[in-house]
Each structure stands twice: as C-alpha cells, then as structure tokens.
Structure 1
Amino acid sequence: MTDGTERVRLAVVTVVRDDRAGLLATRASLRAQTVAAYDWFVADGGSVDGTARWLTRHGKEAAWWRSSPDRGLYDAMNIALDAIAAGAPSGGPSPSHVLFLNAGDRLADERVLERLLPILAERPDTGLFYGDALEELTGGRLAVKRARSHRRALLGMFTHHQAMVYRLASLSGIRFDLRHGLAADYAFTLAVLGHGVPAHRLPLSVCIFAPGGRSQQDPARGRREQAIIRRELLGLGWMSNATIWALQWLALTLRQTIPWLYAKYRFSPNERSFLS
C-alpha cells in the first residue's frame, strides 16, 4: 500500500448485553468489509442469553473481549478504551482511530472501510471524523440521515455516535462521563471538540443505526442531560438551553405525529433543517 493507509488501523468497539443476535449482526457487517484493517474490541456486560458462551468459543476473532458485569453502556466503552490504550494482547500494530459500533449496529455497506481509511490517512492531525447514517424506518426501509456540521454541536449530536470516528491520540484524558446515562456520548464529543482538534465531515454514510435504543425510549431524559452538558461544557444559560430544548421537543413531536413531514426535512439530501 502506498497511500499511507498502512499507518491507519481502526479499533471497532462493540458493547453488548443480552443481545447475541445483535452481536452477530455487527460481526457479519465487519466480516463483510473489503478491507480488514480493524481490530474488534467487545465488551459484554455479563450476558446470560448465550452471548458470553459465544464469545468464549469465538473470542479469537476479537483483538480483545471481556464478559463481566459493568456499570452500563458508557462504563463498558471506557473499559474498552482503556484496553485499547493498554495495547492488544496479540501484540500487533496499534489502532490509530476508534469507532463505536454497538451490538445490532452495522456498517452502511461492505466498502465503508475501503473508502474511510484513505481519508483518515490523508488527515493525520484530524481528531474527529463524522459522516451520515442510514436509519431504519417503519417497514425496514433505510433512509439517509444527513449529518449536520460539527459547528452546530450546541444543538445536540450532529450525527449518530456510530457514524463518528475519533483519533485515539485526541482522547488523552477523555472518557465517557457516567453521570449521564443517555447523553454521555454528547459530552464525550464536545470534550474532543473542546480540545481544539480539527474535525472533518466524511463524504459517506458510515453506519446503519439500529432503532429502539435507550435514547429513543426516554428522549426527555436525554434532553435534560444535554442541557446539563451544555451548561457545564459550553457555558449556556437557561434561556438558550430552554430554546434548544423546545426545538428538540418540536422535532420529536413532529416525528411522532407527522412522520412523513419529519422525514421530508430530516432525511432530505440537503441540510435544510437543524431539527434533530
């Protein structure tokens, strides 16, 4: 390889608990990639549905894995990040970037890494890369959910967390804040951006987002946590936070009551709305 991609290697972190089918779907997506320059790190929170047994039998497919109780999704992500920082037991080349792809999430197609790695190699000083996501709608139809600019991060997550790739060197001292059960990924991303590292918009869809996650089940809690994060990390006052909260509530109400109208704007090929 002569394009510098030999210096780039992706750590894919998959967090799972009692979702063996989702884990296998994520695994199949990784195995289908045309480029295998990645290491799989699997943090299982002590599953009792056969996931732990499967990992025991197939653990050699992962650079690192564990199955043990943890304090939740973001604690498991922190444990995996610490394992990456410590170095893979295999002694192979160290990953340079990390992507969080949880059980049930998949890469958008089999050529995602083939397209992604050269972009990472071309921008060695960029700390955060982010792209579009495919989201499963009613009936199984996939629609492109366009990423917003990272410059509008005060409005919330500007794309799905599974569509973000972080340079590991930019994560020194940064971990997921366990005070936030739903929005710790938002605080994590703001902390990375707060270090002043460059961010780059990817010209591709990165992931297929599995619907039905905790943030979709309890959106009010997610909005409350985001307000706390904006106050602590961005210094936003109550008036600005209230305005953003109202816009987020409006977007959710629109999606629930008039889904075709929400889809027209949020899944448009053009970035015409800041509703999230």
Structure 2
Amino acid sequence: MTGAARPVRLAVVTVVRDDLPGLLATRASLRAQTTAAFEWFVADGGSSDGTARWLADHQDEAAWWRSAPDRGLYDAMNIALDAIAERSPRSCSHVLFLNAGDRLADERTLERLLPILAEHPDAGLFYGDALEELPGGRLAVKRARSHRRALLGMFTHHQAMVYRLAESPGGRFDLRHGLAADYAFTLTVLKQGLPAQRLPLSVCIFAGGGRAQQDPARGRREQAIIRRELLGLGRTANATLWGLQWLALTLRQTIPWLYAKYRFSSNERSLLS
C-alpha cells in the first residue's frame, strides 16, 4: 500500500524539557497557521518548571501529550512516534519534528506545505530551507543542500524535514547516537529508495543553542560511525569529511561574516513559494 491510500494530515512532534517559554513559542506558531490540518504531539521529559502543569491545563490543544522521564531527546521522539502509530484510524500520514522554541517560518507555512505532500504521495522525505536568527536578531535563510549530498551530513535542519509515516510502525531513532540520531534516521529513510522531494519554501525558524552546537566534535564522531555503518564509508573518507566539517565550523566561529556570506541568503528571497 502506498501513501496515496491515506489522506494527508501532518503530525507535529514537539519535544520539551524545562522550557515552557520555548513550548509557548512553538504553540503560538502553530496556532497562527492558516490551516488546522495537523495534530500536535507533545513529549515532555518530566519538566519541573511548570511545563507539565501547563500541558495538563491545555490538554485539549494537543492530540496527545505526555509528561514523564525519558532517556533524552530521541527517546522522546520515539515515544511520540509510537503514540502517532497507535492513533488508528486517525493516524497521520506525515510527521514534522518541531522542538520547543522552534517555529514555523510564517503563518502560511502549512498552507503551502500540505498540498505539496498530497501531490507526491510516494515520497518518503520532503525537505526545505530553514531560517536562522543571526546576531542582532536578523533572520537569514540557510538554504538546504541536495539530499544527494547526504554523505556530507544533514543537508538541512531536522526541523525543515517532513517524513512520510509508514503504514505499519517504521523506523525509530537510534539511541546510541545522542546528537546525530536524526542523521541516521534520515539516511535510513533515503536508503529505502523512496523519492525525496525538495520543497520550494522555508519550513522553520530554527532555535539555536542546542546540544549539537554545544558539542560539535561529538556530533562529528557520531556521524562518522553512522556513515561507516549505513553507507560503508572507510576510515580515510570519513577522516576527510571530518576535516571538511571542522573547517566549516572553524570558519563560522572565527570569521562569521564570511561564513554567513557563503551559507546564508536574504530572508525575502526564500519565503516566495
């Protein structure tokens, strides 16, 4: 059975722990959308900052929510995926991971996105550009690279990717990778041979400062393991890619204006669809 047998309905998964302001920012972005053809799944890792109480007081806003200890970000995503799979017959056809603090690019993002999902029912992955907030508050577009360059790493932010859900419980995030499980998840989807569709729009406003940005060396090590296991990449090729990633990170940290000139473009050009 292909994706065409199911109506297009998006599951938006938000993972949060002790970040009520971030959760509220994500919620405000979803409430501002011009279409309501989505369901919100919130996995809270047992917060103690009022997040759990807020979810209990606003439980009608989420299709599903949970507040309990978990084993981290990707375990919470797996728990949410299980919840989506169990919601038969109202199960959703696609999933977008929008963590606490992340927002959709504008109020018409889902209005633009959902028809594209419907036009490509057999695509396993959709991906678009992301907006990043630069110093001074200016939003800039971080263009997605082609999925054919996935060997180099994530070709756009995870929050700018939409995955088609399998008819039966499918892939899950590999908890061995604390920072790069989204990369392994994405490569696994691509290896299934399903089409990947480039979106002509920015999907998200990325909330920076996450663990991957705080510990990039660990992320690169995990990516090397993933490339070896899933792509069969040897030690020399992995070392070369590691060096290129290190060079890009060094450039961003030491000469941010040059990195921005190379990697970002103006917000106005990207939001046209």
TM-score computed with the length of structure 1 as normaliser: 0.93
Please tell me the residue identity of whatever aligns with 1:125.
D
Q: Is 1:102 matched up with 2:83?
A: no
Sequence identity, in percent?
A: 84
Write the deviation string for residues 49-105 of structure 1: whole angstroms up to 9, x where unpaired: 0000000100110000000000000000000000000007xx6x3211000000000
**Equivalent in the alignment of 1:56:** 56
Write the deviation string for residues 165-193 of structure 1: whole angstroms up to 9, x where unpaired: 00002784310000000000000000000
Q: Is 1:43 matched up with 2:23?
A: no
Tell me by how many angstroms 1:140 deviates: 1.3
User: Which of 140, 144, 162 is matched with 2:137 structurally?
Assistant: 140
Q: Secondary structure at the match of 2:129?
A: strand
Corresponding pairs, count: 262
Superposition pairs of residues 9-28 of structure 1, within 5 angstroms: 9-28=9-28
Superposition pairs of residues 245-256 of structure 1, within 5 angstroms: 245-256=242-253
**Equivalent in the alignment of 2:269:** none
Superposition pairs of residues 1-276 of structure 1, within 5 angstroms: 7-87=7-87, 93-169=90-166, 172-268=169-265
Q: Secondary structure at the match of 1:110?
A: coil
Tell me by how many angstroms 1:139 deviates: 1.4
Unaligned runs of 5+ in 2: 267-273
> Contact 2:85 / 2:169 at 8 angstroms: preserved in 1?
no
Runs of 4+ in 1 over 6 A off after TM superposition: none
> Contact 1:186 / 1:226 at 8 angstroms: preserved in 2?
yes
Tell me by how many angstroms 1:268 deviates: 3.8
> Contact 1:171 / 1:192 at 8 angstroms: preserved in 2?
no
Q: Secondary structure at the match of 1:109?
A: coil
Please tell me the residue identity of whatever aligns with 1:220.
A
Tell me by how many angstroms 1:141 deviates: 1.0
> Contact 1:170 / 1:192 at 8 angstroms: preserved in 2?
no
> Contact 2:13 / 2:95 at 8 angstroms: preserved in 1?
yes
Q: Distance in 2 between matches of 1:217 and 1:68?
A: 25
TM-score computed with the length of structure 2 as normaliser: 0.94
Unaligned runs of 5+ in 1: 270-276
